[in-house]
Amino acid sequence: MHLARPMKKAVAKTTKTQKQTTKKQLRSQTKRKFGSSAPTSDPRFSTINADVDRRAQARSMPATRLSKLENGLRVASEPQDGGLTTVCVSIDAGSRYETQENNGTAHFLEHTLFKGTSKRSRTELELEIEAMGGSLNAFTSREQTVFTATVQNRNMKHAMDLVADILQNSRVTDRAIENERGVIIEEMHMVQQDLQEVVYDRMHQSAYRGSSLAFDILGPLENIQRINKKNIDQYINTHYIAPRTVLSVVGGDFEHGEIVDLAQKHFGNMPTSPRNGIQPNKGVANFIGSDIRVRDDDMPRVNLAFGFETAGWNDADHYPLMALQMMLGSHHAQRSATDQYAASELVVNCAGNGWADSVQPFNTIYSDTGIFGLYAVAAPNVLDRLGDQMIRALVNHATHVPEQHLVEAKSKLKLSLLSQYEGTENTAQEIGRQLLSHGRRIHPGEVIARIDDIDQVAVQNVVKRFFLDQDFVVSAVGNVFELGDYAMLRKKSVVPWM
């Protein structure tokens, strides 16, 4: 009490201007206190001192050693601490290289290759990988097919022999095909229940109409029901060739020369050109601004996405786009109490006003094109405001990129990209993707340097190039009655303040 009196007198003697300044300072201090979970409400959080550590972490990562066999197959190895090693084979082949008639073959092939080889039965394959305490995985995307075997370090040679046998000596029998047909149809039904996947697939169908990039990875039901051994053999003979293949080995501390010798032993006979004379063709992807909606008034929620055309992996604006993705942020209803203090205006509005159960940016990249946009799940009665805010969130960055927000986004981006190198399997897959997409391995140190070079002007320019006054694709499933028509939504990308 005694100390309070002189404080009151001091305040009473201040001028009117000083009072206003003091009130502003108090409001600012209060905002920092209660918004401490928001990195942008206090510069100490947005500058994130971990930047220096990220650069040091990137520099400390080992360099990838590269070689090429005489048949054109690329071999990469990278040591990594721990007791596991991953042998990964990445092939430049996927649903984009298919036709309307054989769409789904790449994914079907992935399933059948694990059913036994000329050396090992299916049971023997499973017992061998189990005895090594390892795992076999595979996936097919629109542009790549990847096979991985992760085992203990001492079993690396055995794993490479196993993977090479599966890829080159698999017995694709009629019986195996029939057994997998039902499995793939069941998988297709499961995918159709995932509305996010449905929205993305329909977005591709509409955006790349008339090209192979519009195809579903699993293929249509009629194709799955008729794919046969001849289709699969033809796909193998066309695409599974050495120049379209990357072998990456991550883990242990093996000599690169030893890896190359093993690769020559197991993959040296891989053909250098298609054995059937059919040259792979991914076609041309022409983006079409369009609108595709599946209306179902009985659905309690709407799954909605806006997608803009961007550029491929090797475009100069690749990293500014990823920084923008981080700036847009993501929101989930379970986090509304903290998301209301986020840096992103879109996230704050969705959290504070209940405009969406969830909203998140996506950035899908291919060799020569890409789709960047926002995906949301929301109630039908908020679609008008939500759609407006989603487009506005993208185009507003053409003129307004807060420096603190960008610093925070760059720090998050570094952490996200460096986390891809956690674990031997993730690293091996990333090496394969980079060699197929970029033709070289991009060291994490270069990644950090490229992110550091991003400034406000770079983000503004990328928004002006890809989003401002550009056609986009709308994909929605649910009760879409209150979602504005395409012409009205399109205007929002022309004049963001309308």
Q: Which residues contact 189 (CB under 8 A, 6 or more apart)?
A: none
Residue 276: inside a domain: no
219/352 same-domain check: no
Residue 164: inside a domain: yes
Is the model's pLDDT at 25 over the cut of 50?
no
216/331 same-domain check: no
Is the model's pLDDT at 46 over the cut of 50?
no
Instruction: Please provide the average confidence, as pLDDT, over all residues in the chain.
Output: 87
Beta bridge partners of 398: none
Beta bridge partners of 373: 307, 362
3-state SS class at 248: strand
Residue 481: inside a domain: yes
Beta bridge partners of 374: 306, 361
Pairing of strands 302-310, 472-478: antiparallel
Contact predicate 146/139, CB 8 Å: yes
Contact predicate 280/235, CB 8 Å: no
When pLDDT is cut at 50, 70 and 90, the band that residue 342 belongs to is confident
From 252, 267, 282, the end of a domain falls on: 267
Range in 13-17, 28-32, 111-115, 228-232 the model is least confident about: 28-32
469/329 same-domain check: yes
* pLDDT of res. 185: 95
Distances, alpha carbon 2 to alpha carbons 5, 14, 233, in Å? 6, 20, 92
Is the model's pLDDT at 59 over the cut of 90?
no
Contact predicate 177/170, CB 8 Å: no
441/343 same-domain check: yes
**Among candidates 319, 342, 357, which has minimal Cα distance to 393?**
342
Q: Which residues contact 413 (CB under 8 A, 6 or more apart)?
A: 319, 322, 323, 325, 326, 451
Q: Which residues contact 397 (CB under 8 A, 6 or more apart)?
A: 324, 327, 459, 460, 463
394/478 same-domain check: yes
* pLDDT of res. 450: 94
Q: Is 125 left (phi over 0), alpha (psi -120 to 50) or beta?
A: alpha
Residue 498: inside a domain: no
* pLDDT of res. 403: 92
203/85 same-domain check: yes
Is the model's pLDDT at 24 over the cut of 50?
no
Residue 38: inside a domain: no
330/374 same-domain check: yes
Beta bridge partners of 308: 372, 472
Q: What angle do CA 326, 384, 329 make, to 5 degrees?
A: 10
* String of DSSP letters for 260-308: HHHHHHHHTTS-SS-TTSPPP---------EEEEEE-TT-SSEEEEEEE
From 236, 267, 298, the end of a domain falls on: 267
Structure tokens at 144: 């790549």
Mean pLDDT of the region 240-244:
96
383/423 same-domain check: yes
Q: How far apart are CA 23 and CA 429, in angstroms?
A: 55
Q: Which residues contact 111 (CB under 8 A, 6 or more apart)?
A: 180, 183, 184
Q: How far apart are CA 336 and CA 209, in angstroms?
A: 38
Residue 32: inside a domain: no
Contact predicate 365/420, CB 8 Å: no
Is the model's pLDDT at 14 over the cut of 70?
no
Residue 308: inside a domain: yes
Mean pLDDT of the region 476-493:
93
Which pTM was predicted?
Answer: 0.85
220/330 same-domain check: no
Mean pLDDT of the region 291-302:
95
| Other Cβ atoms closer than 10 A to 400 | 13
220/324 same-domain check: no
Domain limits at 73? 68-267
237/323 same-domain check: no
How many independent structural domains does the chain possess?
2
Distances, alpha carbon 258 to alpha carbons 31, 42, 67, 254, 320, in Å? 60, 52, 12, 7, 39
Mean pLDDT of the region 29-34:
32
Q: How far apart are CA 194 and CA 227, in angstroms?
A: 25
Is the model's pLDDT at 99 over the cut of 90?
yes
Structure tokens at 280: 């792979």
Q: Between these two residues, 105 and 36, which has the higher pLDDT value? A: 105
Mean pLDDT of the region 473-490:
94
From 235, 267, 299, the end of a domain falls on: 267
Is the model's pLDDT at 140 over the cut of 50?
yes
Contact predicate 160/262, CB 8 Å: yes
Q: What is the CATH number of the domain that holds 145?
A: 3.30.830.10
Q: How far apart are CA 235 and CA 59, in angstroms?
A: 41
348/448 same-domain check: yes
Decide: residue 305, CB within 10 A, 0-12 exposed, 13-18 middle, 19+ buried.
buried
Residue 6: inside a domain: no
**Longest pairwise C-alpha distance within the chain:** 96
When pLDDT is cut at 50, 70 and 90, the band that residue 58 belongs to is low
Active site residues: 110, 180
Q: How far is CA 327 from the centre of its chain?
A: 16
Q: How far apart are CA 352 and CA 331, in angstroms?
A: 11
Q: Which helix (H) or strand (E) holds 80?
A: strand 80-91
* pLDDT of res. 495: 62
**Model confidence over 155-178: pLDDT tens digits?**
999 999 999 999 999 988 888 899
